[in-house]
């Protein structure tokens, strides 16, 4: 016979044994290829989803403030201007669906597809994702539109605190389809709920005619340079006003005025010396007005569409002016509620503008050397302060700039009178203060419509006269520095910059030069006027997302090793049955290596078949895993997103690795067998001496104890390791050490068991006999017990990580999370905020006044019992486990200083060196230092890949923050937390509070939910118990853990199968012994018991070692939650029962053979 | 007083060509302390007879009465107890448990039942005593693998006698032994039977060994014939 024939004969004759060994390799290949497939499927699903949300768009520009939609016109390639706003939809039945993007688009948005049929039609176009969320038959929608980011900062004194935006109701015009129907302007994957309307309609709705706040581009070459050439100062939110444009504005406004207002205006203009030269009242013409402005107001005014100019902007403008060779002066004005003499005299001027500036001849009044506390008073007719002596002390009372909605007067600022200014020149220029609709356009102070309280009783007739003549011209000046101290802040440092026009130059040519200089000085990124490589960012987010495939592979290694061990065991058992054959081959002169190669060739075929089948099976296994993930994932949209993708490379790689590992396992398994003496083999001896003699086990015990000790040290220390990978690593290493110690101890025990006496004086002789039987083949017993031990270890250890947040029991605990699309602008902790809330409740019941007042008073009582904590929110990227990608701009929340306590923020790990309480640390603002953030440990580790002490960038200007602490089951599972002042420094444009946390007693929670849902329905508020929110994120972890446990379960099956095979084999080998016992008069039950005891011993040793190792490792981490104990116990019990059944089965099979035949065969 | 009465025991084995009769009506009586040798050609049914007597095999018909018990009427548990308490087997191959020491092997029939501590202590004393008597007093803690064939067979004899059986059945116990050992084992069996007042049936091919026994039978055509 040739070798090939021998191999073929071996394969066919021992088909069953080989098939069993092949199953081991197949399981290994399936798990290995499955993990790889899982990883590639996840990656591809996420990538498909991320790219699906981009459509034709490669690059996106999102500006902080609206810019000219026309900016898109001159840019190369396809560029679509869009106006984007956050929105929420109120679904019939009253529930609110948030996180909706409302976009105004024109035809360009739809790309090559062109607009859908029926576009624009009448009403809202929605996409499939939104339709799925609201149900199919919503014919009309009521949409609450978030702010568009223009006008004065809404939290500033002059901001419109209360939203005038009534919900926008319109029919559904159609459902979008095609390439751009899943578009999302924000990063991420998964569904994108979209409402699309024609651009012009949204421009009108948001009062942004001709404007857009985002550009979508296909990334044609030259886009960036074309953009920077096309950007004008206006696109940065700057307003440039020349004398003639101001004159024209004024004249055109005058034409819209009523007769008296118009004549008042012209009387004032005529009263000024300069105008008088042009003639009498009524003779004011547009031309004359322009001439006057061009001569007596020779400056260009640079203002902001958002009222305030940031310090960077002021610096840019001033640099541009100096480049253009013209003088500039920044001005910061504020409304003083009173400029009052200190002391009992009580002389004061109500509601007057105070300006801070750097004096420049021709641009500002001549005020010099005011110093930090000097004030210059403009003298005007009947001014109560006219005869104030130098060095008298004045108080300026004012509302702080950042006091939207609920202004409280700041501590009065004291100034010393340093100068009186004559009422002439720039001192009577109303343009010192920017135009502010509702105030500067009113003819009388009595007609002011201000967003803050005004006490008109304090306004005297001479005040009205001044207003009528000079309107907002400041009545006092302070130094620029003093102004900065009082009124500069996150909104900006100045209200305008004045630019001089040189004597012999026209305003237009100065403007031209200024524009050119501004183009160089204004930084496009400060206004968000840069295209981001959205496609690249999306791909990077997916690529940097948590690599679940690798993680899964790590966990799978347990099972892969178990499967290989099983293969080795099975192959070995198969070979042992063929010992005589091996002996014969050797006896007739085959060399060791020849024999080895023969069997290796058989083994290779076995491994090849196994790994091939396993690789194929992974195409079933992986979809099952994906289905499990989708089913247990708390966000149902994952199911729609996850697609199994058949990756032949991953399968081949998995199969190949399993093949190689299988061959290695087979080589190891037969290593000593082929080296045995042919005579011994011929007699059927398959071991190099059955080690029944006295064995040294003292060293074994010592090693076990030392290993366990190392595990104990690591386990005790691992809670102090940084969270995430190091800590889990520590935990698992400790667990593995315990496991190894357990198996070493088992090994030592097996050696010792062989020497347990079986004498009459020793009890349980049958058990001792069974234990001795188990110890006779220590390698087999160890492999089986080891399989069971690692599977049960995995099962129990993973269970320890399963977590669930529990509803708070503390009356003071954070209990409710409300998140809205339209921010709360009035601090709900203030009386005004509370009133606004109660008013909203009352409004809901306006048809039933009695009910309304009843509701109001019960709401008021509830508000007395609870406390509301308003949180700022920025960033769109989920920084939590629900996000499978890595967010580029993670969600960040900020709580007001002092509002969160140590108890609210359960710290898992801190940055080294800090001992300050976490809330205090976050609130701290050291100038120039990195801001501190805290985040949920799991999100930091897996999603952001950061640990305490690391830095990360969280906004578009790439400002870095440092992770101060990782939280464990904290209230922010999906966002970073920072202090409010640091937050406002990084996100100065943030308006209001989009999240409100509520401290409430558990019994109050339902009422709180109802209250806030009603009161903030028009803000698109989603209000949920905090514990539900936290649990949603924990459910993600549990979902992952479930898949790991499925692996553990698979391991248990493998282990139990291994046990059954080992037992059957052992019983078959020992059928003669068992027959002898029968002949000696052992009852059948007693023989079964003997076999059963042996299997029980192995089962208990395996399961016990694994479980105890896992529990020991888990204890320092808080142990296994009580709720999971029954499930665990049940699983282990099921495994025990199965193993025992295998024992019974093998015992029964043993006794089916007739005693005499068995005895005879044994010979 | 007859302790063993075998009457007309018939046993046939099924084969493709129909039942093959092996025992064709065995009649035998024995008194306590009696020993007999059984000879006959290979395949004549000697072992089958021992197995039927030892309740390892059921007869087709006929009756066996050992101290008033007929094993053919017993269920499997009772059969086991019967073998345990009434029968002592010595096989041609010693069939010692390789994982147990000589002493443990001798004790092993004792583990078939739960026993009180005093009983167990008594059994252990008896095994030691038996092993001393068969000349293995110094090898109590040895494993079977460390013994010679004759020593193993002597240990098997000791094991067969542990529970004071009424009937000791030895199927070619000396078949694998050299002449000296064979004689030693045969004499040992005879001596021990005499001392325990039990009955003994020994199957042997050796006429020399058979000559040691007062009663000798030959198996022929499924029947016992005096030899
Ligand atoms: N279980 C069995 N099935 C069929 N035939 C058997 C069986 N056991 C023994 N025999 C047959 O019975 C006959 C007697 O066997 P046995 O009692 O072993 O003979 P001896 O011990 O005298 O050599 C033989 O022909 C043998 O083939
Ligand atoms: Mg025979």
Residue A331, pLDDT above cutoff 90: yes
Pocket of ligand 1 (CB under 6 A): B 13, 22, 40, 42-48
DSSP A434: P
- The angle at the Cα of A533, spanning A532 to A535, to the nearest 5 degrees, equals 135
Check: CB of residue A828 under 8 Å from CB of residue A834: yes
Percent of chain A whose predicted confidence (pLDDT) is above 90: 22
**Contact at CB, A759 and B84, closer than 8 angstroms:** no
| Stretch A191-201: mean pLDDT | 90
Q: Is A759's CB within 8 Å of B103's CB?
A: yes
Mutate to test the pocket of ligand 1, among A1075, A1154, A1156 (most ligand atoms within 8 A of CB): A1156
B133 CA from centroid of ligand 2 (Å)? 28
Q: Return the minimum-mean-pLDDT range out of A155-169, A431-445, A644-658, A1120-1134.
A: A155-169
Could you tell me how far CA B64 lies from the centroid of its own chain? 16
User: What is the pLDDT at residue A691?
Assistant: 43
Question: Which residue has a Cα nearest atom 6 of ligand 1?
Answer: B13
- What is the Cα–Cα distance from A400 to A412, expressed in whole angstroms? 10
Q: A872: CA distance to ligand 2 center in Å? A: 97
Cis preceding-peptide flag for A120 (omega within 30 of 0) = yes
Question: How many domains is chain B built from?
Answer: 1
Q: Do A1076 and B97 touch (CB under 8 A)?
A: yes
Q: What is the pLDDT of residues A860-911, one digit of tens each?
A: 999 999 999 999 998 877 777 777 777 878 899 999 988 999 888 888 888 8
Q: Which residues of A touch B109 (CB under 8 A)?
A: 1080-1081
Q: For residues A280 and A287, give the distance between their C-alpha atoms in angstroms, rounded to a whole number.
A: 15
Given a cut of 60, whether residue A1161 has pLDDT beyond it is no
Is the confidence at residue A471, as pLDDT, over 80?
yes
* Neighbouring-strand partners of residue A457: none
Give me the pLDDT at residue A1163, please: 40
CA distances in angstroms from A182 to A56, A788, A951, B144, listed in the order given? 11, 48, 33, 81
* Confidence at residue B211, expressed as pLDDT on a 0 to 100 scale: 92
Mean pLDDT across chain B: 89
Does residue A1081 sit at the B interface (CB-CB below 8 Å)? Answer: yes
Chain A residue with CA closest to B88: the answer is A1080
State the pLDDT at residue A1006: 92
Among protein residues, the one with the nearest Cα to ligand 1's atom 26 is: B43
Lowest-pLDDT range, A98-112, A416-430, A713-727, A762-776? A713-727
Average pLDDT on B16-38 reads: 91
- Chain B residues close to A692, C-beta within 8 Å: 98-99, 143, 145
DSSP string, A877-928: B--STT--S--SSB-EEEE-TT-S-GGGS-EEEE-TT--S-HHHHHH---TT
Q: Which of A666, A501, A834, A464 is nearest to A17 (CA)?
A: A666
A675 CA to centre of ligand 2 in angstroms: 37
Query: Residue A1110 and residue A1120: Cα distance in Å, rounded?
Result: 10
pLDDT at residue number A272: 59
Euclidean distance between CA atoms A952 and A933, whole angstroms: 10
Whether A199 has a pLDDT exceeding 80, the answer reads: yes
For residue B42, the CA-to-ligand 1 centroid distance in Å is 9
Query: Is there a contact between A1083 and B51 if contact means CB atoms under 8 Å apart?
Result: no
Task: Provide the pLDDT for residue B204.
Answer: 92
C-beta atoms of B120 and A1073 within 8 A: no
CA angle (A543, A545, A548) in 5-degree steps: 105
Residue A761 and residue B124: Cβ atoms within 8 Å?
yes
Contact A1155 B56 (CB under 8 A): yes
pLDDT at position A722, please? 64
Q: Please give the distance, rounded to the nearest whole angstrom, from the Cα atom of residue A1156 to the centre of ligand 1.
A: 11
* Distances from the Cα of A1097 to the Cα of A755, A1140, A1143, angstroms: 16, 10, 11
Q: Any idea what the Cα angle at residue A813 is, between residues A810 and A815, rounded to 5°?
A: 115
Residue A1119 confidence (pLDDT) above 70: no
Q: Give a three-class secondary structure readout of A708-747.
A: HHHHHHHHHHHHHCCCCHHHHHHHHHHHHHHHHHHHHHHH
Mean pLDDT of A1077-1083: 88
Q: What 8-state DSSP symbol labels residue A821? A: E
Q: How many CB atoms lie within 10 A of CB A682?
A: 16
Q: Kindly determine whether residue B83 and residue A1083, on different chains, have CB atoms separated by under 8 Å.
A: no
Q: Find the Cα–Cα–Cα–Cα dihedral B151, B152, B157, B162, rounded to 10°.
A: 110
Query: Which positions 672-691 of A are in contact with B (Cβ < 8 Å)?
Result: 690
> Cα(B198) to centroid of ligand 2, in Å?
23
pLDDT of residue A690: 47
What does the pLDDT average to over A458-477? 88
Return the number of other C-beta atoms located less than 10 Å from residue A346's C-beta.
9
Does the pLDDT of residue A320 top 90, yes or no?
Answer: yes
- Across A231-240, A754-763, A910-919, which has the greatest mean pLDDT? A231-240
Whether residue A283 is predicted with pLDDT greater than 50 in this model: the reply is: yes
Judge whether B51 is closer than 8 Å to chain A, CB to CB.
yes
Spell out the alpha helix ranges (H) of A534-647.
Answer: 534-543, 548-577, 579-587, 592-632, 637-641
Residue in chain A closest to B86 (alpha carbons) equals A1081
Torsion sign over Cα B202, B207, B208, B213: positive
- CATH code of the domain in which B160 resides: 3.40.50.300
| pLDDT value at residue A793 | 85
Is B184 inside a domain boundary?
yes
Rounded average pLDDT over B101-116: 88
pLDDT at A693: 46
Convert the pLDDT of each residue in B55-81 to its tens digit.
888 889 999 999 888 888 888 889 889
* Of A494-503, A509-518, A558-567, minimum mean pLDDT range: A558-567
pLDDT range class, residue B10, cuts 50, 70, 90: very high
**Can you tell me the mean pLDDT for A126-139?**
79
A1073 touches chain B (CB under 8 A): yes
**Does the residue B186 lie in any domain?**
yes
Q: What is the pLDDT of residues B146-173, one digit of tens each?
A: 888 889 988 998 999 899 999 999 998 8
pLDDT at A149: 66
- pLDDT-based confidence at residue A702 (cuts at 50, 70, 90): confident
Q: What is the mean pLDDT of residues A783-792?
A: 84
Determine contact: A772 vs chain B, CB below 8 A. yes
Q: What pLDDT is stored for residue A436 in this prediction? A: 83
Cα three-residue angle B219-B221-B223, rounded to 5 degrees: 55
The predicted-structure confidence for A39-72, as pLDDT tens digits, reads as follows 888 888 888 888 888 899 999 998 888 899 999 9
B120 contact residues in A (CB cutoff 8 A): 760-761
Report residue A501's pLDDT band, with 50, 70 and 90 as the boundaries: very high
Measured CA to CA, the distance from residue A278 to residue A263 in angstroms comes to 16
Mean pLDDT of all residues in chain A?
Answer: 83
| Contact at CB, A1081 and B109, closer than 8 angstroms | yes
d(CA A314, CA A309): 6
**Alpha-carbon span B224 to B226, nearest angstrom:** 7
- Asked if the model's pLDDT at residue B25 lies above 50, the reply is yes
- A965-995: buried (b, 16+ CB within 10 Å) or exposed (e) per residue? bbbbbbbbbbbbbbbbbbbbebbeebbbbbb
What is the domain extent for residue B179? 34-52+76-226
Decide if A1055 contacts A1132 (C-beta within 8 A).
no
* C-alpha span between A183 and A58 (Å, rounded): 12
Task: Collect all residues with Cβ–Cβ distance below 8 Å to A1125 and sequence separation of at least 6.
Answer: none
Residue of minimum CA distance from atom 18 in ligand 1: B47
A763 CA distance to ligand 1 centroid (A)?
41
CA angle B187, B191, B192 (to 5 degrees): 115
Distance from first CA to last CA of chain B, Å, rounded?
24
Least confident of A157-161, A392-396, A668-672, A1067-1071: A157-161
**pLDDT interval class at B9 (50, 70, 90):** very high
Determine how many CB atoms are found less than 10 A away from the CB of residue A557: 15
Per the domain annotation, does B9 fall within a domain?
A: no
| pLDDT at residue A635 greater than cutoff 80 | no
pLDDT at residue A657, rounded to an integer? 92
- Which pLDDT score, from 0 to 100, does residue B160 have? 92
Residues A705 and A699: their CA atoms lie apart, in Å, by: 10
**Does residue B151 lie within any of the structural domains?**
yes
Find the closest chain A residue to B112 by CA distance: A1082
* pLDDT the model gives residue B93: 80
Q: Mean per-residue pLDDT for A941-952?
A: 84
Please answer whether residues B43 and B65 qualify as being in contact, where contact means their C-beta atoms are separated by less than 8 angstroms.
no
Q: Which of A17-21, A186-190, A332-336 has the lowest mean pLDDT?
A: A186-190
Residues of A with Cβ-Cβ distance to B115 under 8 angstroms: 760
pLDDT at position A760 is 58
Q: Give the pLDDT confidence score for residue A999 in this predicted structure.
A: 93
Q: Rounded to whole angstroms, how far apart are CA atoms B33 and A537?
A: 101
B67 found inside a domain: no
CB contacts of A1078 in chain B (<8 Å) are 80
> Which residues have a Cβ under 8 Å from the Cβ of B28 and sit 6 or more positions away?
B4, B5, B6, B217, B224
> What pLDDT score was predicted for residue A1162?
45
Torsion of CA A1015, A1018, A1020, A1023, to 10 degrees: 10
Q: If we measure between CA atoms, which residue out of A241, A234, A267 comes closest to residue A431?
A: A241
Least trusted range by pLDDT, from A271-285, A757-771, A998-1012: A271-285
Burial of A806 (0-12, 13-18, 19+ CB in 10 A): exposed
- The protein residue whose alpha carbon is closest to atom 1 in ligand 1 is B13
Residue at B7 is within a domain: no
Query: Each residue of A20-40: pLDDT tens digit?
Result: 888 889 988 998 899 889 888
Would you state the pLDDT for residue B170? Answer: 92
- The backbone torsions φ and ψ at residue A89, rounded to the nearest 5 degrees and listed phi first, read -115, 135
DSSP state of A56: T
Residue with the smallest CA separation from ligand 1 atom 2 is B13
Question: Is pLDDT at A764 greater than 80 in this prediction?
Answer: no
Nearest to A377 by CA among A405, A346, A352: A352
Top pLDDT among A381 and B224 is at: B224
Residues of B in contact with A773 (CB under 8 A): 99
Q: How far is A1071 from chain B (nearest CA, A)?
A: 12
Task: In whole angstroms, give the CA distance from residue A850 to residue A531.
Answer: 56
Q: Is residue B174 part of a domain?
A: yes
CA distances from A562 to A31, A792, A1107, A1137 (A): 11, 12, 16, 20
Evaluate whether residue B143 is within a structural domain. Answer: yes
CA distance A197 to A42: 34
Q: What's the confidence (pLDDT) of residue A792? A: 84
Q: How far is CA A455 from CA A338, A405, A445, A629, B209, in A?
A: 11, 16, 11, 63, 137
Check CB contact of B212 with chain A, cutoff 8 Å: no
A251/A249 Cα distance (integer angstroms) = 6
A663 compared with A992, residue with greater pLDDT? A663
For residue A692, pLDDT over 50 is answered with no
Cβ atoms of A155 and A825 within 8 Å: the answer is: yes
Residue A515: CB atoms within 10 Å: 16
Average pLDDT over residues A103-127: 88
């Amino acid at each position: 016979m040739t070798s090939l024939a021998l191999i073929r004969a071996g394969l066919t004759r021992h088909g069953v044994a080989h098939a069993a060994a092949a199953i081991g390799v197949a399981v290994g290949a399936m798990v290995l290829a499955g993990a790889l497939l899982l990883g590639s499927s996840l990656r591809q699903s996420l990538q498909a989803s991320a790219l699906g949300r981009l459509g034709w768009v490669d690059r996106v520009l999102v500006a902080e403030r609206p810019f000219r939609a026309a900016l898109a016109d001159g840019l190369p390639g396809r560029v679509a201007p869009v106006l984007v706003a956050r929105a929420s939809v109120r679904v019939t039945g009253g529930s609110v669906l948030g996180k909706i993007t409302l976009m105004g688009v024109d035809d360009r948005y739809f790309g090559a597809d062109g607009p859908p049929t029926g576009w624009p039609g009448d009403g809202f176009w929605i996409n499939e994702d939104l339709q799925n969320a609201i149900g199919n038959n919503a014919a009309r929608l009521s949409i609450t539109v978030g702010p568009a980011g223009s006008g004065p900062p809404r939290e500033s004194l002059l901001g419109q605190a209360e939203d005038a935006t009534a919900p926008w109701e319109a029919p559904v015009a159609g459902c979008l389809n095609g390439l751009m129907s899943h578009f999302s302007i924000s990063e991420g994957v998964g569904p994108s709920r979209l409402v699309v309307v024609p651009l012009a309609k949204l421009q009108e709705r948001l009062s942004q005619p001709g404007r857009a706040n985002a550009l979508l581009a296909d990334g044609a070459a030259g886009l960036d340079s074309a953009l920077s050439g096309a950007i004008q100062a206006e696109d940065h939110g700057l307003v440039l006003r020349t004398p003639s444009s101001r004159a024209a504005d004024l004249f055109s406004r005058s034409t819209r005025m009523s007769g008296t207002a118009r004549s008042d205006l012209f009387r004032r203009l005529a009263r000024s010396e300069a105008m008088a030269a042009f003639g009498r009242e009524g003779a004011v013409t547009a031309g004359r007005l322009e001439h006057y402005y061009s001569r007596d107001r020779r400056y260009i005014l640079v203002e902001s569409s958002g009222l305030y100019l940031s310090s960077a902007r002021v610096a840019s403008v001033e640099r541009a002016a100096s480049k253009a060779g013209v003088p500039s002066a920044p001005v910061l004005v504020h409304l003083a509620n009173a400029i009052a003499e200190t002391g009992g005299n009580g002389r004061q001027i109500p509601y007057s503008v105070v300006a801070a500036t750097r004096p420049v001849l021709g641009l500002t009044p001549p005020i010099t050397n005011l110093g930090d506390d000097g004030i210059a008073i403009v003298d005007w007719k009947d001014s109560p302060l006219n005869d104030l002596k130098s060095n008298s002390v004045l108080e300026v009372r004012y509302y702080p700039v950042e006091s939207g909605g609920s202004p409280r007067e700041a501590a009065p600022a004291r100034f010393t009178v340093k100068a009186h200014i004559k009422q002439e020149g720039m001192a009577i220029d109303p343009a010192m203060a920017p135009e502010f609709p509702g105030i500067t356009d009113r003819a009388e102070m009595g007609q002011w419509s201000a967003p803050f309280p005004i006490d008109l009783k304090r306004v005297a007739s001479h005040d009205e006269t001044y207003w009528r003549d000079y309107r907002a011209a400041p009545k006092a000046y302070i130094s620029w520095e003093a102004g900065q101290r009082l009124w500069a802040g996150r909104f900006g440092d100045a209200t305008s910059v004045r630019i001089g026009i040189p004597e012999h130059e026209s305003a237009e040519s100065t403007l031209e030069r200024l524009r050119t200089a501004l183009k160089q000085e204004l930084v496009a990124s400060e206004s968000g006027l840069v295209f981001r490589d959205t496609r690249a960012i999306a791909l990077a987010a997916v690529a940097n997302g948590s690599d679940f495939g690798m993680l899964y592979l790590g966990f799978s290694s347990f099972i892969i090793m178990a499967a290989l061990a099983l293969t080795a065991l099975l192959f070995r058992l198969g070979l042992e049955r063929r010992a005589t054959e091996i002996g014969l081959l050797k006896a007739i002169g085959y060399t060791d290596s020849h024999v080895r190669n023969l069997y290796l060739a058989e083994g290779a075929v076995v491994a090849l078949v196994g790994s091939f089948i396993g690789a194929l099976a992974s195409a079933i296994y992986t979809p099952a895993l994906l289905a499990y993930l989708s089913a247990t994932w708390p966000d149902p949209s994952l199911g729609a997103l996850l697609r199994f993708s058949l990756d032949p490379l991953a399968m081949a790689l998995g199969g190949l690795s399993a093949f190689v590992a299988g061959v290695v396992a087979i080589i190891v398994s037969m290593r000593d067998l082929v080296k045995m003496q042919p005579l011994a083999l011929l007699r059927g001896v398959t071991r190099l001496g059955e080690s029944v003699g006295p064995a040294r086990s003292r060293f074994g015990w010592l090693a076990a104890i030392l290993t366990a000790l190392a595990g104990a040290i690591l386990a005790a220390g691992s809670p102090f390791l940084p969270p995430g990978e190091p800590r889990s690593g520590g935990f698992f290493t400790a667990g593995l050490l315990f496991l190894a110690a357990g198996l070493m101890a088992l090994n030592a025990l097996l050696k010792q068991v062989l020497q347990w006496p079986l004498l009459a004086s020793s009890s349980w002789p049958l058990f001792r006999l069974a234990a001795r039987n188990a110890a006779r083949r220590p390698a087999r017993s160890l492999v089986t017990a080891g399989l069971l031990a690692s599977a049960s270890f995995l099962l129990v250890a993973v269970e320890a990580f399963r977590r669930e947040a529990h509803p708070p029991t503390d009356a003071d605990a954070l209990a409710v999370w409300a998140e809205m699309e339209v921010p709360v602008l009035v601090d709900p902790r203030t009386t005004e905020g509370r009133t606004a809330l109660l008013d909203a409740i009352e409004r809901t019941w306006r048809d039933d006044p009695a009910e309304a007042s009843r509701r109001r008073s019960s709401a008021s009582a509830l508000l007395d019992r609870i406390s509301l904590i308003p949180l700022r929110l920025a960033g769109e990227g989920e920084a939590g486990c629900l996000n499978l990608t890595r967010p580029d701009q993670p969600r960040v929340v900020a709580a007001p200083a002092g509002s969160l306590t140590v108890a609210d923020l359960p710290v898992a790990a801190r940055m080294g060196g800090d001992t300050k309480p976490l809330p205090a640390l976050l609130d701290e603002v050291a100038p120039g230092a990195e801001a501190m953030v805290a985040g949920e440990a799991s999100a930091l580790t897996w999603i952001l890949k950061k640990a305490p002490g690391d830095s990360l960038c969280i906004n578009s200007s790439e400002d870095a923050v440092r992770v101060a602490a990782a939280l464990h089951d904290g209230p922010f599972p999906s966002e970073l937390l920072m202090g409010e002042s640091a937050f406002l420094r990084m996100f100065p444009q943030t308006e209001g509070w989009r999240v409100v946390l509520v401290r409430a007693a558990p019994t109050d929670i339902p009422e709180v939910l109802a209250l806030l849902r009603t009161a903030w329905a028009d803000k698109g508020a989603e209000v949920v118990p905090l514990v539900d929110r936290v649990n949603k994120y924990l459910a993600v972890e549990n979902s992952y853990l479930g898949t790991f446990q499925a692996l553990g379960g698979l391991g248990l099956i493998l282990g139990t199968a291994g046990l059954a095979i080992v037992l059957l084999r052992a019983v078959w080998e020992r059928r003669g012994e068992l027959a002898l016992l029968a002949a000696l008069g052992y009852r059948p039950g007693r023989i079964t018991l003997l076999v059963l005891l042996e299997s029980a011993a192995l089962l208990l040793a395996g399961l016990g070692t694994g479980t105890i190792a896992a529990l020991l490792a888990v204890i320092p981490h808080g142990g296994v939650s009580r709720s999971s104990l029954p499930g665990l116990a049940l699983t282990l019990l099921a495994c025990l029962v199965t193993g025992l059944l295998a024992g019974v089965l093998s015992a029964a099979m043993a006794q089916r053979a007739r005693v005499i035949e068995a005895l005879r065969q044994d010979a | 007083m007859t302790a063993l009465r075998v009457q007309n025991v018939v046993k046939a084995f099924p084969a493709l060509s129909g039942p093959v009769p092996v025992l064709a009506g065995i009649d035998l009586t024995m008194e306590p302390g009696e020993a007999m040798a059984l000879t006959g050609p290979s395949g004549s049914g000697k072992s089958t007879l021992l197995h039927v007597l030892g309740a390892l095999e059921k007869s087709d018909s006929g009756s066996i009465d050992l101290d008033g018990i007929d094993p053919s009427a017993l269920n499997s548990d009772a059969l086991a107890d019967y073998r345990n308490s009434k029968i002592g087997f010595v096989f041609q191959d010693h069939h010692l448990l390789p994982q147990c020491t000589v002493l443990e092997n001798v004790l092993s029939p004792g583990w078939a039942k739960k026993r009180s501590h005093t009983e167990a202590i008594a059994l252990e004393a008896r095994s030691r005593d038996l092993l001393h008597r068969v000349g293995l007093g110094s090898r109590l803690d040895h494993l079977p693998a460390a013994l010679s064939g004759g020593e193993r067979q002597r240990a098997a004899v000791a094991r067969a006698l542990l529970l004071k059986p009424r009937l000791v059945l030895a199927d070619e116990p000396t078949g694998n032994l050299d002449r000296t050992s064979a004689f030693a084992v045969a004499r040992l069996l005879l001596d021990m039977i005499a001392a325990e007042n039990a009955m003994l049936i020994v199957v042997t091919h050796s006429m020399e060994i058979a000559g040691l026994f007062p009663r000798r039978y030959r198996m022929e055509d499924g029947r016992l014939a005096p030899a």
